[in-house]
Amino acid sequence: MVDGAFAIPSFEQWFYLPGDWLIYLLASRMPAIAEPLGVGPAEYGGPVAGLLSWSIWVALAIALIAAAATVRRFDRAVTRAIADGVAELKRRVRMAVAFARYRRQRKVVRKEPTFDGEEPSLSRDEERMLELHLRLAPGFALAISDVAEELHARVYEVKTGLERLQRLKLLQSTVGGLDGETAYTLTPAGRALLRLRHARPTTA
């Protein structure tokens, strides 16, 4: 084989170029196979080179189409993943903001309890009942019998007053005592009413 200078091929030569190179490699690298087949430089640009070139160009076109489809699928997958990630991030941010706003509102409610409607009129015994509940430690409740004992009153009288305070939403009922007796705790409205009354100046 003789080395020469590279020449710019024409369109026809471009078509035959893959087949010519295949024949060249077969003849130069594997002459034991090329000689029995009669394949050599004389086949450049001939039918054999044309058939080989056509097969190579078709295979290359199929490979390019497959590669382009793979790139498009990859692009869609990446775009979808980015969109899903952004949507999930926005959702988490909205949830975090909503929870923070909810906790802030709960703190405001705890700090500034109020009661609905106008200030109710209470008897002296009902005020004392509320005062007893105000002195309770967190998590504790007063049973009806406990309130009656503290006020030195009868149970049925105390029960009537406690039920009225519950209807006014100043107390809320729960279960307390050893025998499952009804017990009561202050509501935020009841605590607010007591604070309001304590803040008023006393008249002589």
Which range has the worst mean pLDDT, 59-63, 91-95, 114-118, 166-170? 114-118
From 85, 112, 139, the end of a domain falls on 112
Q: Are residues 100 and 166 in the same domain?
A: no
Shared domain for 182 and 103, answered yes or no, is no
Domain boundary among 92, 112, 132: 112
Confidence of residue 9 (pLDDT cuts 50, 70, 90): low
**118 occurs within a structural domain:** no
In a domain, 151, yes or no: yes
Confidence of residue 82 (pLDDT cuts 50, 70, 90): very high
The radius of gyration of the chain from alpha carbons, rounded to an integer in Å, stands at: 47
Q: Does 27 share its domain with 97?
A: yes
Tell me: pLDDT of 185 over 70: yes
Task: Answer with the one of 84, 112, 140 that is the final residue of a domain.
Answer: 112
Mean pLDDT of 37-53: 75
Reply yes or no on whether the pLDDT at 199 is more than 80: no
Q: Quick check: is 119 in a domain? A: no
Let me know whether 17 and 106 are in one domain: yes
Residue 4's pLDDT is 46
Residue 1 domain-assigned? no
Is 190 within a domain? yes
**In total, how many domains does the chain have?**
2
Q: Are residues 107 and 31 in the same domain?
A: yes
Asked if residue 104 and residue 20 are part of one domain, the reply reads: yes
In a domain, 26, yes or no: yes
pLDDT at residue number 2: 43
3: in domain:
no
Residues 97-123 have a mean pLDDT of 68
Mean pLDDT taken over the chain:
78
Q: Which domain holds residue 169?
A: 124-199
Burial of 163 (0-12, 13-18, 19+ CB in 10 A): middle
Q: What is the CATH number of the domain that holds 135?
A: 1.10.10.10
Mean pLDDT of 100-125: 68
Q: How far is CA 105 from CA 59, 133, 140, 189, 191, in A?
A: 69, 26, 25, 17, 18
76: confidence class by pLDDT, cuts 50, 70, 90: very high
Residue 94 shares a structural domain with residue 20: yes
Both 131 and 195 in one domain: the answer is yes
pLDDT, position 180? 65
Quote the pTM value.
0.41
Same domain, 192 and 98: no
Helix (H) or strand (E) holding 183: strand 181-186
CB atoms within 10 A of CB 142: 25
